[in-house]
Amino acid sequence: MTRKHFALRISPNLYAALERWAADDLRSVNAQIEYLLVQSVKKAGRSKEKESPEGEERQSGAETES
């Protein structure tokens, strides 16, 4: 899967929170942001993909839905 690169400007406090959360889930900050975005897109019913995106396969330590 080809990935799009882009700059993301967020506050230092938000980055610190994401960094802690990512560490708890054994992910990089980038993978944590991607995971959260994928979950949000799915929850909103905006995902056009039938198969789970590559970013979701890397989730470790997170609960999955049955």
Predicted confidence at residue 65, as pLDDT, reads 47
Would you list the domain boundaries of the chain? 11-41
Distance (Å, rounded) from C-alpha 19 to C-alpha 25?
10
Residues, the chain: 66
Which tokens hold the place of 5?
A: 């690169």
Side chain identity at 42, as an amino acid letter?
K
**37-66 pLDDT per residue, tens:** 999 999 999 988 665 555 555 455 544 443
Of 48 and 14, more confident: 14
Distance (Å, rounded) from C-alpha 60 to C-alpha 24?
10
